[in-house]
Amino acid sequence: MSASMSTAAGAPSVSTGGDGRFADLHLHTFFSDGTFSPEELEERGKGVGLAAMALTDHDTVEGCERMAQACAAHGIEFVAGSELTAEFDGKEVHLLGYFLDTANEMLCAELKRFQAVRQARIEEMVRRLNLLNIPLEAESVFRLANCRSPGRPHVGRALVQEGLCGSLDEAFDRFLKKGRPAWVPKCKVDAMDAITLIHQAGGLAVMAHPALNQGDELIPQLVRQGLDGLECFHTRNVGHMPEHYMRLAARYNLLVTGGSDCHGYSKGKPLIGGVKLPGVYFDKLKEARRQKARAGAA
């Protein structure tokens, strides 16, 4: 199997030989900060010819059941997942959990806790905006977000909707970016605990977009903690980055995953279809899950 990179319309896309099956294993809906419903997302996935999709909303698995149904109706393989915001050595690390048992008690309790932290952070951002005489109400943000996992983009969109900022970019530049006056540090779960949480819910733990978090040096330590895979293909992994992370994955015996990180229209245009993970890597992920389940049952 040979992998080659091509760049179309500024977005990296991965194309390979093989049997032409592709997966996108990093997708968001309006259950976190995306704009698509699970059904719309599945429809888009079908439109760009995906054979498999994983839903990885931030700190929630709420959209998984609807997405599973939508995928089943069109013969698309579905993986229930979530993207956990964690921290390690003072650095932010995003961990993708795949094949999660969405009814797992500890997972549900912890996700609920992470969601409460997110909601408190929104309230604090709004409080700081109010101190700057920006008359935004937390209720407007929660109404717009309409989900249990609200985030900064929702605050930005509420500022635009209320006419308090001209654009999302302006909202981030003036108030919400790291270091700006309404920015509030995230309270994050320890990456080690996040990996353990994913594992005890039957899932595989994958480090998301390592380049975005400049987290290369964390990889060996996360591997010791049981990290299963590395997101080598991602919209923001351009140039030689996929090859670089493929080499790291090989060195540490990690699974190779990839996805577009599509948020619908919440951050520009929909990215789905821009990154297509060749089916062979998806097959390896499924095989690893089967092996793990067998080892667990033994």
Q: How far is the CB of 272 from Zn ion (least distance, A)?
A: 12
Which residue in this structure is represented by tokens 């977009």? 209
Q: How far is the CB of 234 from Zn ion (least distance, A)?
A: 9
User: Is 45:34 a contact under the CB 8 Å cutoff?
Assistant: no
| Residue 259 or 279 with smaller CB distance to Zn ion | 259
| Residue 202 or 259 with smaller CB distance to Zn ion | 259
User: Is 97:90 a contact under the CB 8 Å cutoff?
Assistant: no
Q: How far is the CB of 144 from Zn ion (least distance, A)?
A: 19
| Residue 82 or 104 with smaller CB distance to Zn ion | 82
Q: How far is the CB of 192 from Zn ion (least distance, A)?
A: 18
State the residue number with the nearest CB to Zn ion: 94
Q: Which chain residues interact with Zn ion by CB under 5 A?
A: 83, 94, 208, 261
User: Is 25:283 a contact under the CB 8 Å cutoff?
Assistant: no
Q: How far is the CB of 1 from Zn ion (least distance, A)?
A: 26
DSSP state, residue 262: B
Q: How far apart are the C-alpha atoms of 62 and 158, rounded to whole Å?
A: 23
Distances (CA, A) of 123 to 44, 127, 141: 34, 6, 9
Longest CA pairwise span in the chain (Å) = 61
| Residue 152 or 174 with smaller CB distance to Zn ion | 152
| Residue 42 or 83 with smaller CB distance to Zn ion | 83
